[in-house]
Amino acid sequence: MIVLIDTNVIIDFLIKREPYEKAASEIMRKCAGKEIQGYIAFHSIPNLWYILRRVPEEKRREWMLNICSFIQVAGVGHEEVVKAIKMREFKDFEDCLQDRCAGSVGARYIITRNTDDFANSQVPAVLPGRFLEILEGRV
């Protein structure tokens, strides 16, 4: 199964943010073990770099390289960016790009803690815990 993992879930994993770290770590473990095929949107990399700016640069580099060792980077071209710009149903342009990146790789879900931001997404958004339930067939 292909999924796009939102920036907030990656941060939960990297900084072990409670109470979200357990589900985020399980999703990362499943990506690393190739149980699921995880993607991160291209623009999430500089966003992470900036958000985590208080973490020493070498540690951030280590984290980004680690993430990129088991999660692929999804990108979009000019046409998809223009489509995202035209998507008025999103409040946050960054979320439009997440949706377009998810679509470009054929993701079944966007895994995020902000599902309300993706109410009009073409790719359905699910909470990390809910995704794990779906994956385990409990839903």
**Is it the case that residue 138 has pLDDT exceeding 80?**
no
**DSSP H stretches of helix in 1-139:** 7-14, 21-32, 44-51, 57-70, 78-86, 93-104, 128-135
**Eight-class DSSP state of 108:** S
Neighbouring CB atoms inside 10 A of 18's CB total 8
> pLDDT confidence of 125, banded at 50, 70, 90?
very high
pLDDT above 70 covers what percent of the chain?
98
At 90 the three-state DSSP class reads coil
Give the pTM.
0.91
- Domain 2-135, what architecture? 3-Layer(aba) Sandwich (3.40)
pLDDT by residue (tens digit) across 2-20?
999 999 999 999 999 999 9
- C-alpha span between 35 and 29 (Å, rounded): 9
pLDDT by residue (tens digit) across 46-98?
999 999 999 999 999 999 999 999 999 998 889 888 887 887 776 778 888 89
The first and second tokens of residue 127, run together, are 């909470």
pLDDT by residue (tens digit) across 88-116?
776 778 888 899 899 999 999 999 999 99
Select from 62, 85, 46 the least CA-distant residue to 14.
62
What is the model's pLDDT at position 139?
64
Looking from the CA of 74 toward its CB, the CA atoms found within 13 Å total 26
The first and second tokens of residue 37, run together, are 């095929």
Report the chain's mean pLDDT, rounded to a whole number: 92
At 70 the three-state DSSP class reads helix
